[in-house]
Structure 1
């Protein structure tokens, strides 16, 4: 019986060194067949990665989190993406009992009252479904870019996620916003029309607004909070063990 190969962060980083995005995604899919997964929010960056995966027939599972609070425009680009690539993006919903309890006890807009309440809502609507989606996988592909926020500028393209016990790969980490939008234009990739109205980072409808010229990329997310708190818990950086 042949033992399953194991990879260290350093070793896997070496395997990806010098590869372009398509080659890197193909390599990961080959090294971890059936164990590579991509989470899309259907925003600019994620639409680029979706196109890279599906246009090149790379066997990577694609899913999205439907929080129940999404913009209608997000559902529209979701349908256009399924139609364009003849695919079916998998969907993960929050636990209905948890949502019912939250809204019964705290009302529909508790997340405006405190950071703790907002994180509770994100935990129910996003983090728990994400954990279910990632279970059993070894590579998580994301659309994170260094430009998006200060705490992402020091992130490597490949990292170990101790909270989810898998590797995270960020293909567009070094891309600029202009490079992302140019790729969308050049390849006629479906995109969310909210981007044309100043929405750069698009999440749940009550928690997202358009940004003004000169504002930080993440200013439109949870705009009533301090910038240092603007993460929802999907991308934690617990490193209890680094392989």
Structure 2
């Protein structure tokens, strides 16, 4: 079925604007769900609402969330997709970013850390990811993320509740209290099976590493393939105790 709900522009008041906007978006999603919208329609609606509501909206992608990029570019053609090139990505991931930029109706923004890998090695020593993965992630992922989100009203992520215990209560539309902005998680309620079904049914361009057993894809030095039945994120920061 298709939803038939008007997407009206949101005009924020001057107090607690992110909370008011998120509440309005969440109400829209709840109404659509009550009218029978399925998980795909709810995801598309959330992206459409955010794209029409926030001029500064950005979708953050690691190119390991291909279903989100495909769905969002279809639901909101011209959406800005920011990809953080950490300097440690697999060649396949970089190729996936290039392929999406050339084949999908989106605007790709490539963001890089303040330091190159060589500059970081000179400052902190080689292979920082082995000695202090949290610091390496902060320098190569978190800082570029914060720089990209600065001054924006809303962002879109590929987070799902099934990804990790720390994500078990995320909503489709909510408030990012840390950054005082709206956070949209279109796939929040999707299962792994639903994600795979969407990819198969819509001929989604997938990172080639999927075929090599990589269920969750991050930087090359800190990502390994997972075995059948293993937690999809078990291949991230394996052996370090780090989960996010």
TM-score, normalised to structure 1's length? 0.82
CA-based RMSD of the aligned residues comes to 2.0
Give the equivalent residue in structure 2 for 1:73.
92
Distance 2:176 2:76 in 1: 26
Which of 126, 129, 137 matches 1:111?
129
Give the equivalent residue in structure 2 for 1:239.
none
Preserved CA contact (<8 Å) 2:66 2:204? yes
The answer to whether the aligner puts 1:56 opposite 2:78 as a matched pair is no
Unmatched runs of 5 consecutive residues or more in structure 2: 1-10, 33-41
Q: 1:55 to 1:208 in 2, by over 3 A?
A: same
Q: Alpha-carbon deviation of 1:62?
A: 0.9
Which of 217, 220, 227 matches 1:202?
217
Preserved CA contact (<8 Å) 2:215 2:226? yes
Which of 17, 20, 39 matches 2:30?
17
Show the 5 A alignment for 1:46-195.
46-85=65-104, 87-96=106-115, 99-113=117-131, 117-195=132-210
Give the equivalent residue in structure 1 for 2:56.
35
Q: Alpha-carbon deviation of 1:206?
A: 0.2
How many positions carry a matched residue from both structures? Answer: 220
Q: Describe the superposition over 1:119-142 as per-residue Cα deviations: whole angstroms up to 9, x where unpaired.
A: 111111111111111112111110
Give the equivalent residue in structure 2 for 1:217.
232
Preserved CA contact (<8 Å) 2:172 2:188? yes
Q: 1:188 to 1:200 in 2, by over 3 A?
A: same
Mean Cα displacement is larger for which, 85-94 or 143-152? 85-94
Give the equivalent residue in structure 1 for 2:48.
26
TM-score, normalised to structure 2's length? 0.82
